[in-house]
Chain A
Amino acid sequence: MLRKNALKYAAVLVALLILWQLLSMALKLSFLPPPAKVIVNLFIRFLPEISVHAVYSLWRVFAGIGLSMLFGIPLGLGMGYFPRLDKFLSPVVYFTYPVPKIALLPLVMLIFGLGEFSKILMLTMIIVFHIIVAMRDAALGIPKETFYTLVSLGAGTVKIIKKIVIPASLPGLFTSLRVSLGTALSVLFFTETFGTQHGMGYYIMDAWMRVDYTDMFTGILVLSIIGLLLFILLDVAESTLCRWKTGG
Chain B
Amino acid sequence: MIEIRDLSVTYREKSGVHVAVHDFTLQLNRGDICAVIGPSGCGKSTVLYVLSGIITQYAGSVLINGEPANPKLQRIGLIPQNYGLLEWLSVYGNAVLGLDVMGEDIKSDEPYINHILVKIGLQAYRNKFPGSLSGGQRQRVSIARAFIMRPDILLMDEPFSALDAITREEIQDLFLNTWSENKVSTIFVTHSIEEAVYIGRKIAIMSPAPGRIVKVLDNPLFGRDNLRMIDEYYRFSMELRSMAKEAWSAC
B101 CB–A CB distance under 8 Å: yes
Closest to B103 in A: A159
Number of A-B contacts (CB under 8 A): 72
| B76 and A153 form a contact (CB under 8 A) | yes
CB neighbors of A among B152-203 (8 A): 155
Given the known inter-chain contacts A148-B78, A149-B78, A152-B78, please indicate yes or no for A248 contacting B129, CB distance below 8 A.
Answer: yes
B70 contact set on A, CB distance < 8 A = 154
**Which one of A21-29, A160-168, A191-199 is at the B interface?**
A160-168
Stretch at the interface among A42-50, A66-74, A239-247: A239-247
B52 touches A148 (CB 8 A): yes
Chain B min CB distance to A87 (Å): 19
Per a CB cutoff under 8 Å, which of A149, A244, A245, A247 touches B80?
A: A149
Q: Is the interface of B mostly helix, strand, loop or mixed?
A: loop
Contact of A145 among B71, B80, B88 (CB under 8 A): B80
Look across to chain A and name the residue whose beta carbon is closest to the beta carbon of B157. Answer: A148
Q: Is the CB of B76 within 8 A of A163?
A: no
CB–CB B101/A243 < 8 A: no
Known: A153-B76, A243-B129. A146 touches B101 (CB 8 A): no
Q: Which chain A residues numbered 130 to 164 have a C-beta less than 8 Å away from chain B?
A: 145-146, 148-155, 159, 163-164
Chain A residue with the shortest CB-CB distance to B131: A244
User: Contact: A244 with B129, CB < 8 Å?
Assistant: yes
The digit string for A222-248, where 1 denotes a CB below 8 A from any CB of B, is 000000000000000000001111011
Return the contact of A148 from the options B84, B89, B97, B131 (Cβ within 8 A). Answer: B84
Question: How many residues in A have their beta carbons less than 8 Å from beta carbons of B?
Answer: 22
Q: Is the CB of A242 within 8 A of B78?
A: no
| A interface, over-half SS | helix
Q: Does B87 contact A (CB under 8 A)?
A: yes
Residues A153 and B88 in contact in the complex (CB < 8 Å), given A145-B80, A148-B52, A148-B80: no
Q: Which of A150, A164, A247 contacts B132 (CB 8 A)?
A: A247
The reply to whether A151 and B88 contact each other, CB–CB distance below 8 Å, is: no
* Cα distance, A152 to B45, chains bound together (Å): 13
Q: Are B80 and A153 in contact, CB atoms less than 8 angstroms apart?
A: no
Considering only CB atoms, which chain B residue lies closest to A151 in the complex? B54
A106 to chain B, nearest CB (A): 44
Set of chain B residues within 8 Å of A164, measured between Cβ atoms? 86
Q: Which of A153, A154, A168 contacts B97 (CB 8 A)?
A: A153
Q: Is the CB of B102 within 8 A of A149?
A: no
Is B98 close to A, CB under 8 A? Answer: yes
Which one of A145, A146, A152 contacts B52 once the chains associate, using CB atoms below 8 Å? A152
Most buried by B among A149, A164, A244, A245: A149
Q: Which of A145, A146, A152, A159 has the most CB of B within 10 A?
A: A152
The smallest beta-carbon distance between A155 and chain B, in angstroms, is: 5
Chain B 93-105 against A: per-residue CB contact (8 Å), 1 yes, 0 no? 0000110011000
The 8 closest A-B pairs by CB, nearest first: A154-B71, A152-B52, A149-B84, A152-B78, A167-B88, A244-B129, A154-B72, A153-B101
Interface residues of A, Cβ cutoff 8 Å to B: 145-146, 148-155, 159, 163-164, 167-168, 170, 242-245, 247-248
